Amino acid sequence: MRFQALLALVALVVAPVAASNNFNVPFSLRYVPGFFKQGTPSIDVPDANPEHLGLLDDATWKDVDVYIKGRAARGVDVKLLLLLRHGEGIHNIAEAKYTDAKLTSLGMEQAEKAAQRIYEELKRGLKIEEVVVSPLERTLHTAMIAYQKHEEIPKRSMEWPRETIGVCTCDLRGTISSKAEHYKTIDSSEIWNDADPWWTPDHRETEAHINDRARMFLNRVFYGHETTHIGVVSHSGMITAAMRVVGHRRYSVATAKSSRSSSKTPSSMLSLHSLGQRRYVVGIKQQN
């Protein structure tokens, strides 16, 4: 599996809408187009990792910030999410016989390229106030590499943005205590169980299940975090589900690369809006 760079933005502007009875999880965030090519219906779906993470040709990061601040002044919260998929893992090139799969040398190289793309966009005005990471080895390692030039940005891990859960041993999380030594700068206080409480060998999450988990994750980030510009390092399954549940058009994500080919990290931006509670979220980038 190729890693689709969250850095390659998936722009989501989220606005609250009335919750639907079709959802098992209360959800009121929706994608709002207008900033990124990945989510603009009038534009052909771009390849992975478009220039400037997919910002429209007449848009800038300042425009995104002005929009977020303008909506906030009117009582509407808007957030920008930069979704990044992890780099290639050993499970991507071999049978699924590894637990909590690690990055390959290519995966680390992909994460380095993603780091450069993030660095370049931060210089152009992109803001990232915190990074939320899946607690699997390949995402933790990707996050450390991708944001290595920005140690001042706090990082925290959460269970919710994990890959599709069950059956595949590569998605069985190792203990949090075993990761603490290697990832000292990533706060894991929101994870209550040292061992993996969710993975089972005989049941794989269905699309409906991961959709519910994506809604739960977006709700937690949207309503539980005060920051408005958030980087997310996750997986293709979760990133795809997140785009799906907010109404973003189909956009394929590759492994953590910063270029446009299958070996590069794709970019997509998600704009989410919450109509009912008058909340907005702008999702920026995603990688698996």
Structural domain includes residue 260 = yes
**Distance from C-alpha of 52 to C-alpha of 47, rounded to nearest angstrom:** 13
Mapped onto helix, strand or coil, the DSSP state of residue 151 is coil
**What is the residue range of 217's domain?**
8-285
| Number of domains present in the structure of the chain | 1
Residue 170 to residue 225: CA distance in whole angstroms = 29
Domain annotation covers residue 43: yes
Cα angle: 40, vertex 49, 112; to 5 degrees? 145
Distance, CA of 99 to chain centre: 22
Q: For 132, phi and psi rounded to 5 degrees?
A: -110, 130
Q: What is the pLDDT of residue 283?
A: 39
Q: What is the pLDDT of residue 96?
A: 52
1 inside domain: no
Does 2 fall in a domain? no
pTM attached to this predicted model: 0.83
**130-133 vs 155-157, strand pairing mode:** parallel
Taking the C-alpha atoms of residue 124 and residue 118, their distance in angstroms, rounded to an integer, is 10
Whether residue 131 is contained in a domain is answered as: yes
* CATH number for the domain harbouring residue 30: 3.40.50.1240
The pair of structure tokens assigned to 172 is 């069985």
85 falls within a domain: yes
Long-range CB contact pairs, 60-63, < 8 A, 24+: 60/124, 60/125, 61/121, 61/124, 61/125, 61/126, 61/127, 62/125, 63/35
Amino acid 3: pLDDT: 28
* 3 lies in some domain: no
- pLDDT digit string (tens) for the chain, length 288 residues: 222 223 334 545 555 555 555 555 566 787 777 888 887 778 887 777 788 888 899 999 999 999 889 888 988 788 899 889 998 888 665 545 668 989 999 899 989 988 998 999 999 999 999 999 999 999 999 999 999 999 999 999 999 999 999 999 889 999 999 998 899 999 999 999 999 999 999 999 999 999 999 999 999 998 899 999 999 999 989 999 998 988 888 777 654 433 222 222 333 344 443 333 323 344 333 333
